[in-house]
Amino acid sequence: TFKLGNFNGFIFDMDGLVLDTEPTYFAAWQQAVATMGYQLDADDFKKLSGQNYRQVETQLKASLGQDFNLSDFKKLGTEYWRKYVREQGIAVKPGVIALLDYAEQQGIPVCLATNSWAVYARHCLAIAGLTRRFPLMVTGDEVKQVKPAPDIFLEAADRMQIDIHQCVIFEDSHAGI
């Protein structure tokens, strides 16, 4: 068994763990769905937690019907999301800064590993003021299979040049766990 002292790298999920982005996506998606004349309840949005965008699209079609226009949804959702984060920002989850400070003080490399696409991950980190805290990042559009497959975590360990068994993975969604 490992003791905490044996870990040499930290891998962080982004949405819901480092950044409180899920409410921003859900607010934008809810507005987009409503604008399109549809309705989703809170449980439907919970099912989307930790999913990448392709998985979200599949779930939306299953919930709202095969005639649901994903192109319109994506356009409206992006527009509403950008407006929301421009006005509201994106909160950093409690304890994250302290943990990143600890890693920096101890010389422990960190890597972000998110199912989100690179463009969104970079944008979210910039809005939250965390860009420099994550010099290494692996995103859902950079791996063959997203979470729940382990590819994203294995790639993160490779980029840090650390054996995956020597990494602590901080994750909050069912898909990631």
Long-range contacts of residues 142-147, Cβ cutoff 8 Å, at least 24 apart: 142/118, 146/52, 146/55, 146/115, 146/175, 147/50, 147/52, 147/115, 147/173, 147/175, 147/176
Residue 174 pLDDT: 78
Residue appearing with tokens 């929301």: 84
Angle between helices 70-88 and 22-35 (to 10 degrees): 130
Residue 55 pLDDT: 82
Residue 57 pLDDT: 87
C-alpha span between 156 and 153 (Å, rounded): 5
Residue 176 pLDDT: 80
pTM: 0.82
Residue 125 pLDDT: 97
Residue 5 pLDDT: 64
C-alpha span between 177 and 161 (Å, rounded): 22
The parts of the chain modelled with pLDDT lower than 70 are 1-5, 50, 52
